[in-house]
Structure 1
Amino acid sequence: MLHHRLLPLLLLLLAPAALAQTPRADLLIRNGRVYDGAGGPAVLADVAVRQGRIVAVGTLPADYPADTVLDARGLAVAPGFIDVHTHIEDDEVRQPTADNFLLDGVTTVVTGNCGSSRPSLRRYFRTLDSLHLSVNVASLIGHGDVREAVLGQARRAPTEAELTQMEALVDSAMRAGAVGLSSGLIYVPGTYARTPELVRLARVVARHRGLYATHMRSEGDSITWAIAEALQVGREAKLPVQISHLKLSGPPNWGRTTEILGQIEAARAAGQAVTIDQYPYTASSTSLSTLLPDEVQADGRDSLRARLARPAVRREVVAGLLRRLRRRGLRHFSYAVVASFPPDTSLQGLSIEQINRRRGRPHHARHEAATILDLVARYNAGMVFHGMSETDVQAIMRYPHNMVASDASIRVWRQGVPHPRGYGSNARVLGRYVREQQVLPLEEALRRMTSLPAATFGFQDRGLLRPGFAADIVVFDPATVQDRSTFEQPHQYSVGMRYVLVNGRLTVSEGRHTGARSGQVLRKF
């Protein structure tokens, strides 16, 4: 009888306890238009976060327990953006908060692109672990660095013994957690590699279920041949291919998007896994030395200077630069603008044409070509090259297997005159190409920034707003999100990113970086 008398009291005591069994959220996002990243339309929902993970998505009770509540009424809630093509090496120590990425909605970056990475990713990942960046970082192993570690900058094929050494370095990087192999086939020493070398190294990557990401040999006149080589590496090594920053450079190549996208789509139809990425601008950015022939750059900078000091070599290189200019249908090197030149920062933001005139030389392309050689001999300047068509940019953007990428470093505030893509690539897509020009629907643009890159690079618990997934989340205003960075004034952060969470920590609040540094190294095993 005593047991039955106590039962009502016991139930009364248990009722609050049952409510208390709902795990208390560290953070609760209320009333947002939730885009889960899979490409579907938004739903009005709440998102609860606990211990760095999403624990609930849906219409949650009014008394759902939470330490912090964010009101997302009228705002979009999406997975944190994944930038698959970055170059953060060297800047992560100076700027570990990575403000330019976070304020553009990016919570994860993939570095080690274009054949350039840290040679020892195991050591690099330990360094990142100790730095505690504000963004998550994954890395490719760079073919160029692997080749240089074994062959230096020699312009020749590796011996079998050397190739075996290179394979061992790639295998070590993959065991350390690299997501794949990258190549930069317009850069020394990557440009000296032939296709069989790339296939051998890619086969090592395939054993670890990684991918091959390539800055191809050509993005202009020979682009179809370059795409064919990239596809060949993927076919023969049996691994996915990621074509970096697809574009058509130079007016003679404008309008070839149907041709190159058809080539990629044909490979996909034949069963190949092929994806691309793109930054949403009509200018590229890379080093000035890419304008010079490969053979002139072999064996290091001292050899480069020695060759350029020879009158016959100098005349030949100048003639090649002039031929390049004529193919573009231009009279001057106005399309090439200095982004970074530490020996003389007054040149930053000026075109080669402007620098030549400033030096009092005749206003002629031949003298501008000589100016290029003078600059390269002194320092390999970072450049912005204006040479793409807006029509092509939009046509490539519409391709469904295309991801948004910045091809940028962690920007150090007010340093140089860099390409604006480092500050505003995602916001530019959302503001200019989604809201203003309607090139893409919002839900599709978000898929390109979230679940597509996560699936491509193997981030199994990111890229979607689902219970159990890492709480990388961006809350933004679709009506106001916009890039502000320009070619003339690049050091300007994007606007409209209201809140950004990285592994559950509030890293951007009301559009300002909180100083939180909860990023993780994303190793692939």
Structure 2
Amino acid sequence: MKRLLHIVFYILLAISAQAQPTFDLLIKNGLVVDGTGQPRMKIDLGVRDGKIAVIGGLSGATAVQTIDATGKIVCPGFIDVHTHIEGSIQPNPGAANFLFDGVTSVVTGNCGNSAKDLGAFFQELEKLGIALNVGALAGHNTIRSEVMGSVNRAPTEKELTQMQALMTKAMKDGALGLSTGLIYIPGTFAKTDEIVALAKIAAANQGIYASHIRHEDHRVFDAVAEAITIGREAKIPVEISHLKVAGKASWGKSDSLLSKLYDYRSAGIDVMVDQYPYTASSTTLSTQLPDWALGGGTDSLKIRLANVKTKASIVAEMKKMLAESGADNYSFAVIANCPWDTTLNGKSIPTVTQKSKGSAYSLDDEIETILKLCSRGPRVQMVFHKMGEEDVKKIMNFPFCMIASDAGVASFGRSMLHPRAYGTNARVLAEYVREQKIMALEEAIRKMTTLPATRFNLSDRGQLRPGKAADILIFDPNKITAPATYDQPHAYSTGMEYVFVNGVAVIEKGKLTEKKPGKILKRF
């Protein structure tokens, strides 16, 4: 009798095991684009425990959730390697603007600005719960400010040692590398050798050097050359952030610039770039002033402006900078967010000037408007319409260019921010792939997945392959749209039917699930 009970027990156990689903998630009949650039193929995909388990014919398999993806693209989640989410993800951990745009992983800490303590930042996000995966760079501006403030000079030996110690700690905390913002205070005051000293620490820890280079206008060639020098001397891969040729005087120079990048690569320099697919940039209004005028912060700027001779020098240099860019006024400059007067949001500098000066205003009046705004204190965020469409397309087609938004987590409806915060990837897929056909869908997806994953050493992301993390998108390429515009920027991209992060649906049937399966992506 006892033996019979054992037999019955094992029979029931076997039946129970057979009844268990094979996978947590089964995606059937989809057109799989694996992220490598290879042509799509109709095949099934099974997910188990947050990882891709099997890719192949799975007609007999069972799953907790099965999705029929007939006619739909199934691809890796997009990786946005140039974001600024410090301070914006905490109130918005769902990061909806990124999810609707297909982004499942971001790299923050760009342009030299990062959390002061990356270890604490990562712990904060883990405790909070986040909808997407987050990695971070260590920002040079943040490190320099911590040690030196905003002074315009080289660091002493002691100060450089302190900066190196902060960089070492950041890498130990899991930073993916070093970023610089060489048009911003205080980064603009740093000489090349200072950056090399910090980049060497990133290199020793298998990190990357990502740079908002010193110039993006007619001086872009010199600025790129500096980034290459840093890469060569520090023996570190170079990522040039949001590559562009800005200002009408520079339009058409992308061919020569890309040719130079090919030359650098042929010479053994590991250089790549990223780009957002728009003809306008977004940064602070203070970038329209000469660097030296900004040293020491707002109080120092006010002192300089109170001195008639010094102010005249600032104005003269602003006019020179404007002329060299190919512009004769500031009509390209539109206020995205004025912290103390939101009625200015969406208005150009000439429009703001006209309101106070009347229709007969001059260039000097426009400059006066800028100086008053910059001396007020809080940063005024701008949208600058300064790039040419043909240059944007040529840079986009560079094989070593990845797609990146240069955005933070958006608070829906707040400020007149750049539409790239909502529509970067969708715009590429809808406008440049589907409508203009400047590249194949598979190539665009490679630029959004495998290329950034490989570049930033995110070894378990960016490709549909067994063992990789199950960050997966399902969408109809004919329905992807990016409705966000400069006039109406707060509009989510549409067309993403399913978005999975680590095997968990964060968008299901086009709607947010409010789940928070995101992880911290560290260097080690």
Q: TM-score, normalised by structure 1?
A: 0.96
CA drift of 1:101 comes to: 0.2
Aligned AA (2:171)? M
- 1:435-455 deviations in Å (ceiling 9; x for gaps): 000111000000000000000
Distance 2:70 2:417 in 1: 36
SS at match of 2:178: strand
Matches of 1:442 and 1:169, distance apart in 2: 42
The match for 1:128 is: 125
How far apart are residue 310 of structure 1 and its match? 2.1
Matches within 5 A, 1:423-502: 423-502=422-501
Do structure 1's residue 113 and structure 2's residue 110 form an aligned pair? yes
Q: Distance in 2 between matches of 1:326 and 1:264?
A: 27
Structure 1 stretch displaced more, 359-368 or 266-275 = 359-368
Shift of 1:263: 1.4
Aligned to 1:309: 306
* Other-structure match for 2:391: 392
Q: Distance in 1 between matches of 2:11 and 2:295?
A: 82
**Conserved? CA contact 2:250–2:325, under 8 Å:** no
**2:153 & 2:12 partners in 1: Cα distance?**
80
Given the alignment of the two structures, is residue 365 of structure 1 paired with residue 348 of structure 2, yes or no? Answer: no
What are the superposed Cα offsets for residues 15-58 of structure 1, whole Å, 9 maximum, x if unpaired?
8578558x632221121100011110111112211211111112
* 2:43 is the counterpart of 1:55: no
Instruction: Tell me whether 320-329 or 397-406 shows the greater mean CA deviation.
Output: 320-329
| CA deviations over 1:373-405 (Å, ceiling 9, x no partner) | 011111320000001000000000110000000
**Partner residue of 1:402?**
401
1:54-93 paired onto structure 2 within 5 Å: 54-62=52-60, 64-93=61-90
Distance 1:110 1:328 in 2: 31
| Alignment correspondent of 1:339 | 336
Name 2:509's counterpart in structure 1: 510
The reply to whether residue 27 of structure 1 matches residue 22 of structure 2 is: no
1:176 to 173, 189, 206: 173
What secondary structure sits across from 2:144 in the alignment? helix
Matched pairs, number: 517
**Match runs of 1:262-341 below 5 Å:** 262-341=259-338
CA distance in 2, matches of 1:415, 1:222: 34
Amino acid at match of 1:29: I
**1:174-202 Cα deviation digits (max 9, x unpaired):** 00000000000000000000000011111
Structure 1 residues 12, 130: closer, same or farther in 2, change over 3 A? closer
Deviation of residue 480 (structure 1)? 1.2
Give the AA of the match of 1:61: S
Match of 1:200 in 2: 197
Q: Distance in 2 between matches of 1:164 and 1:265?
A: 35
CA drift of 1:12 comes to: 9.1
Tell me if structure 1 keeps the 8 A contact 2:247–2:327.
no
Give the SS at the match of 1:411.
coil
Please list the CA deviations of residues 310-351 of structure 1 after superposition, one character each: whole Å capped at 9, or x if unmatched. Answer: 222222222222223323343321100000012100000000
Provide the rounded CA distance (Å) in 2 between the counterparts of 1:10 and 1:88.
55
SS at match of 1:486: coil
User: Cα distance, 1:11 vs. partner?
Assistant: 12
Query: Quick one: structure 1 residues 338 and 10, their matched pair in 2 at CA, closer, same or farther if it must change by over 3 Å?
Result: closer
Q: Give the Cα separation in 1 of the matches to 2:87 and 2:171.
A: 21
In structure 1, stretches of 5+ residues that fail to align are: 4-8
- The 2-side partners of 1:331 and 1:495 are apart by 39
Secondary structure of 2:357 counterpart: coil
Q: In the aligned structure 1, how far is the partner of 2:224 from the partner of 2:457?
A: 23
Q: Which amino acid aligns with 1:457?
A: F
CA RMSD, 1 decimal:
1.8
Deviations 1:252-272 (A, max 9, x none): 111111211111111111122
User: Amino acid of the residue matched to residue 348 of structure 1?
Assistant: N
Tell me which stretches of 4 or more aligned residues in structure 1 moved more than 6 Å. 9-15
**Aligned-partner SS, 1:354:** helix
| Residue 148 (structure 2) pairs with residue 148 (structure 1) | no
1:523 is aligned to 2:519: no
**What CA distance in whole angstroms lies between the structure 1 residues aligned with 2:232 and 2:314?**
36
Counterparts of 1:40-51 in structure 2 under 5 Å?
40-51=38-49
| Counterpart-to-counterpart distance in 2, 1:363 and 1:324 | 20
The alpha-carbon deviation at position 284 of structure 1 amounts to: 0.4
CA distance in 1, matches of 2:293, 2:130: 39
Residues 248 and 327 of structure 2 are in contact (CA less than 8 Å); yes or no, is this contact kept in structure 1? no
* CA–CA separation in structure 2 for the residues paired with 1:82 and 1:274: 18
Query: 1:160-175 counterparts in 2 under 5 A?
Result: 160-175=157-172
Partner of 1:6: none
Secondary structure of 2:340 counterpart: helix
In the alignment, residue 256 of structure 1 is paired with which amino acid? K
Match of 2:253 among 256, 262, 268: 256
Letter in 1 for 2:59: P
Partner-residue secondary structure (3-state), 2:517: coil
Partner Cα distance (1:351, 1:180) in 2: 37
SS in 2 for 1:383: strand
Give the aligned partner of residue 410 of structure 2. 411
Q: Distance in 2 between matches of 1:423 and 1:12?
A: 55
- Taking the aligned partners of 1:96 and 1:479, their CA distance within structure 2 comes to 29
Following superposition of structure 1 onto structure 2, how do residues 91-102 of structure 1 map, counting pairs within 5 Å? Answer: 91-102=88-99
